[in-house]
């Protein structure tokens, strides 16, 4: 089956915010289309040492992990299901990477308002304000039934979880990128095989997730970063589910999740934010 | 008058009074027919669900082994199979045995085809040849049971196939998370699509080795060993007790699991070593069994009330009959008929009424049941397919069902006539002959 990347911005179901992002989404489409285009010009794959690989991945991690300060932002997550419409979730995320902890409060839609996630120690708790109960969920689960995983909102841990097994160079839209084939060194990650595209600033521009058997499961593009207080914050992320979609008018359209970040801040957060009590109070 | 003479006279009286009995007889026919139908349908549904459940849960009785993780793993299948062999020497017929691996995680099993997807509750890893006789009883909408060594095939339900828009022969992608939580997938070919949209339709069947590979577990891993009995409803409890006893001789055992609650307790109880036990399909179906029992009880209660009304009708009718036949009774008594014979005469007449009602009711009931079974295909949805077999109502009428219904109806008829018959027996001949109409 021939599959194409198309997004109809003129469709009435699209919220205005997405239409304003039209031009950028087209760029993302070009990046995602590259997924299928394994025929793009590429240099021969080369192997690199374990130490060198760890250094590269640590550098990538360090750019989007904020070990020395707290981070907060408002994320708008738009899940687009071809033929089924779209849904929008607005969340506020608080991160304290130094302690590997985070809190997510759902603001919209109204039905999920007040739900919250809290990652402390090795457990991820989900609070439901209706029964007023916390339950343990997995970081590997889908976030609010979108294509994003709960773990997508934590700090980057590529160096800890993967090793580089192959390297090549590829032109990705306007970016000249190094493409790394990654293999998990731990079984704690959802996707044991990954491929990442790193630009000349060592920022991840795209990555592909694969199952153990090598099935391409998900493609993520990060077309925009914003520099705030000398740190990079990805402010636009597009996740394409490679297995879900619909053929509409003869064209196959994948399910996509668009994540935009706003109000990013590195102001210190009170310790209280990373407690169950805080989530309960906010949800009242 | 001899007994045969009494029977003969009672029969003639019954035939003579048929016109008067017509309403009563109709009521008894209806009661018998409804009783027969309710009983036959409940038993048919029960057997149908039991068959589906046994296929779903690996057998009529299933051996599980827990060490506290919540997941069963049979570490010593040879000993379990030896214990199963002893059942036949105890006179319990075994149809076949299953050795399955299962993956049960309702949020993590997904099937994909051409962009469409559906979640499944359970993946069942089977050995096609070992369970051929059981799995071939699937109501296949298309396709069939795969060849015994086919590790590329998958059987899915119509519920899944409709959602996925998939046909037999299509390549289906199965996605799960391994024990450690990593995504893993396998592409399989749809070998058969079975009709099922109920609870039992959210399971897909594939080869045990294929499932184990997908789970990243050893290929030969077995999670449960099941036994399909020749007479499951009759032998289930005895077989479970014998098997549990036999296994306890050589393996650490937690006995027989009676309810789903016990099942959960045993699965999660902390243990140092694996402990073996037996669970019956009946225990797995506790809620459905309770529902059917409640339905049966309500039906019986309604029927008993209806029977009591019929008894009042019989009583009134026989009061009239005895009144009308007073002179006749007087004559017979004057000719030497004993009191007891006079009572028997009326009771036998009531008995003929009850027997006629039962026989015609039985015929009517079975005709309606068979007609509905053959002529009515009910629309399939999650509720109806749970109770149907191949989209139709199935029914079973054992001998004890017929005997029980006959006993109830004939008993109600005789009991209803007893007061009047007794009064007829007490009549003095002279008094009876003097009575003017």
pLDDT tens digit sequence for A248-267: 888 899 999 999 999 989 99
pLDDT band at A19 (very low <50, low <70, confident <90, very high): very low
Same domain, B306 and B428: yes
A13-17, B88-92, B106-110, B220-224: which is most confident: B220-224
- Could you give the number of structural domains in chain B? 2
Residue B377 lies inside a defined structural domain of this protein = yes
The answer to which of B315-324, B340-349, B420-429 has the lowest mean pLDDT is B420-429
> Residue A15's pLDDT is what?
41
Same domain, B295 and B428: yes
Minimal C-alpha gap between B166 and chain A (Å): 14
Same domain, B110 and B21: no
Distant-in-sequence, close-in-space partners of B335: CB < 8 Å, separation ≥ 6 = none
**Minimum-distance CB partner of A211 among B116, B180, B185:** B185
Residue B329 lies inside a defined structural domain of this protein = yes
> Residue A42's pLDDT is what?
45
Same domain, B428 and B299: yes
What tokens appear for B416 in the block? 């209803």
pLDDT band at B236 (very low <50, low <70, confident <90, very high): confident
Report, as an integer, the average pLDDT of B179-203: 87
Q: What does the DSSP 8-state code read for residue A211?
A: -
Query: Residue A237 pLDDT > 80, yes or no?
Result: yes
Q: What does the DSSP 8-state code read for residue B390?
A: T
The answer to which of B69-78, B266-275, B346-355 has the lowest mean pLDDT is B266-275
Residue B232 lies inside a defined structural domain of this protein = no
What tokens appear for A75 in the block? 């994320």
pLDDT band at A32 (very low <50, low <70, confident <90, very high): low
Interface of A with B (CB under 8 A): 1, 138, 140-141, 184, 187-192, 209, 211-213, 215, 217, 243-247, 252, 254
Same domain, B297 and B424: yes
Same domain, B45 and B126: no
- Closest to A248 (Cα-Cα) out of A83, A79, A87, A86: A83
> Residue A46's pLDDT is what?
62
Instruction: Provide the strand spans (E) within chain A.
Output: 70-81, 85-96, 101-108, 116-120, 123-128, 133-137, 162-172, 175-184, 193-198, 204-210, 216-228, 231-248, 251-265
DSSP A228-272: ETTEEEEEEEEEEEEEEEEEETTEEEEEEEEEEEEEEE-----GG
pLDDT tens digit sequence for B372-391: 888 877 776 656 667 777 67
Residue B158 lies inside a defined structural domain of this protein = yes
Residue B240: enclosing H or E segment and its boundaries?
helix B232-250
The residue behind tokens 């089924």 is A84
The answer to which of A138-142, A214-218, B89-93, B229-233 has the lowest mean pLDDT is A138-142
Q: Give B139 or B357, the one with higher predicted confidence.
A: B357
Residue B59 lies inside a defined structural domain of this protein = no
Same domain, B205 and B300: no
Interface test with B, best of A84, A185, A209, A212 (most B CBs within 10 A): A212
**Minimum-distance CB partner of A187 among B114, B180, B185:** B180
Question: By residue range, what is the domain housing residue B391?
Answer: 3-51+287-434
Residue B95 lies inside a defined structural domain of this protein = no
Report, as an integer, the average pLDDT of B149-163: 92
The answer to which of B63-77, B211-225, B228-242, B283-297 has the lowest mean pLDDT is B283-297
Mean pLDDT of chain B: 86
> Residue B382's pLDDT is what?
57
pLDDT tens digit sequence for B396-415: 888 888 998 899 899 989 99
> Which positions in chain B touch A136 (Cβ < 8 Å)?
none
Report, as an integer, the average pLDDT of B293-318: 82
Q: Give B416 or A143, the one with higher predicted confidence.
A: B416
Same domain, B42 and B109: no
Write the ipTM: 0.76
**Cα distance between residue A102 and residue A117, in whole Å:** 8
Within 10 angstroms of residue A78's Cβ, the number of other Cβ atoms is 21
Q: Which of B174, B200, B217 is the last residue of a domain?
A: B217
Mean pLDDT of chain A: 81
**Cα distance between residue A244 and residue A255, in whole Å:** 6
Query: Residue B316 pLDDT > 80, yes or no?
Result: yes
pLDDT band at B1 (very low <50, low <70, confident <90, very high): low
Contact A263, A253 (CB under 8 A): no
Distant-in-sequence, close-in-space partners of A29: CB < 8 Å, separation ≥ 6 = A5, A6, A7
- Closest to A4 (Cα-Cα) out of A27, A33, A42, A43: A33
**pTM for this predicted structure:** 0.76
Residue B165 lies inside a defined structural domain of this protein = yes
CATH number of the CATH domain containing B114: 2.40.40
Query: Residue A29 pLDDT > 80, yes or no?
Result: no
Q: State the CATH class of domain A16-283.
A: mainly beta
> Residue B231's pLDDT is what?
87
Same domain, B43 and B123: no
The residue behind tokens 């979880």 is A161
Q: How much of chain B, in percent, has pLDDT values that exceed 90?
A: 35
- Closest to B43 (Cα-Cα) out of B305, B299, B347: B299
- Do residue A213 and residue B180 have CB atoms under 8 angstroms apart? no
> Which positions in chain B touch A211 (Cβ < 8 Å)?
175, 182-185
> Which positions in chain A touch B180 (Cβ < 8 Å)?
187-188
């Amino acid at each position: 089956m021939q599959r194409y990347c198309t997004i109809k911005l003129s469709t009435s179901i699209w919220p205005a915010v997405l239409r304003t992002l039209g031009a950028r989404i087209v760029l993302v489409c070009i990046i995602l289309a590259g997924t299928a285009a394994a025929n793009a010009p590429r240099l021969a794959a080369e192997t690199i040492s374990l130490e060198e690989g760890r250094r590269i991945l640590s550098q990538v991690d360090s750019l989007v992990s904020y070990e020395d300060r707290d981070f907060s932002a408002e994320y708008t997550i738009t899940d687009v299901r071809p033929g089924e419409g779209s849904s929008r979730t607005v969340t506020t995320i608080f991160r304290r990477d130094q302690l590997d902890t985070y809190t997510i409060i759902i603001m919209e839609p109204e039905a999920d308002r007040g739900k919250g996630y809290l990652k402390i120690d090795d457990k991820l708790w989900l609070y439901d304000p209706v029964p007023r109960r916390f339950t343990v969920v997995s970081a590997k689960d889908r976030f609010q039934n979108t294509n994003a995983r709960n773990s997508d909102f934590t700090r980057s841990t590529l160096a800890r979880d993967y090793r580089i097994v192959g390297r090549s160079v590829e032109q990705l839209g306007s970016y000249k990128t190094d493409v790394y084939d990654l293999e998990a060194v731990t079984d704690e990650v959802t996707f044991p095989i990954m491929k990442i595209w790193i630009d000349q600033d060592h920022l991840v521009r795209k990555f592909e997730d694969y199952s153990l058997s090598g099935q391409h499961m998900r493609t993520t593009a990060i077309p925009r970063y914003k520099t705030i207080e000398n740190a990079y914050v990805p402010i636009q992320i597009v996740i394409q589910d490679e297995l879900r979609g619909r053929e509409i008018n003869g064209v196959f359209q994948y399910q996509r999740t668009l994540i935009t970040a706003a109000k990013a801040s590195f102001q210190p957060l009170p310790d209280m934010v990373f407690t169950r009590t805080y989530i309960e109070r906010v949800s009242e | 008058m001899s007994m045969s003479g009494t029977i003969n006279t009672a029969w003639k009286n019954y035939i003579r009074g048929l016109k008067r009995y017509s309403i009563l007889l109709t009521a008894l026919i209806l009661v018998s027919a409804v009783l027969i139908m309710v009983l036959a349908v409940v038993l048919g549904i029960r057997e149908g669900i039991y068959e589906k459940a046994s296929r779903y849960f690996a057998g009529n009785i299933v051996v599980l082994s827990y060490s506290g993780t919540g997941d069963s793993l049979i570490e010593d299948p040879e000993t379990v199979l030896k214990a199963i062999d002893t059942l036949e020497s105890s006179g319990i017929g075994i149809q076949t045995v299953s050795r399955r691996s299962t993956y049960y995680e309702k949020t993590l099993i997904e099937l994909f085809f051409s962009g469409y997807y559906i979640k499944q509750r359970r993946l069942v890893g089977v050995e096609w040849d070992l369970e051929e006789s059981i799995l071939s009883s699937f109501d296949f909408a298309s396709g069939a049971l795969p060849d015994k060594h086919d590790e590329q095939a998958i059987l899915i339900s119509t519920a899944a196939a409709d959602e996925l828009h998939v046909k037999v022969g299509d390549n289906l992608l199965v996605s799960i998370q391994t024990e450690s939580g990593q995504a893993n997938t396998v592409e399989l070919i749809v070998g058969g699509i079975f009709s099922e949209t109920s609870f039992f339709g959210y399971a897909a069947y594939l080869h045990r080795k294929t499932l184990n590979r997908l789970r990243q577990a050893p290929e030969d891993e077995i999670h449960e060993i099941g036994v399909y009995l020749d007479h499951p409803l009759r032998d289930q409890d005895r077989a479970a007790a014998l098997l549990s006893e036999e296994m306890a001789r050589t393996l650490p055992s937690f006995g027989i699991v009676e309810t789903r609650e016990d099942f959960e307790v045993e699965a999660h109880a902390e243990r140092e070593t694996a402990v073996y036990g037996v669970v019956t399909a009946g225990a797995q179906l506790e809620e459905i069994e309770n529902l059917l029992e409640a339905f049966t009880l309500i039906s019986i209660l309604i029927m008993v009330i209806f029977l009591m009304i019929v008894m009042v009708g019989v009583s009134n009718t026989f009061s009239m009959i005895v009144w009308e036949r007073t002179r006749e009774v007087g004559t017979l008594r004057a000719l030497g008929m004993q009191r007891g014979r006079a009572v028997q005469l009326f009771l036998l007449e009531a008995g003929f009424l009850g027997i006629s009602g039962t026989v015609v009711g039985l015929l009517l009931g079975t005709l309606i049941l068979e007609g509905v079974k053959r002529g009515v295909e009910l629309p399939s949805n999650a509720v109806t397919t749970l109770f149907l077999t191949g989209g139709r109502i199935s029914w079973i009428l054992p001998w004890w069902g017929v005997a029980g219904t006959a006993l109830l109806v004939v008993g109600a008829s005789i009991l209803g006539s007893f007061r009047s018959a007794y009064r007829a027996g007490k009549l003095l001949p002279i008094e009876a002959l003097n009575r003017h109409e």
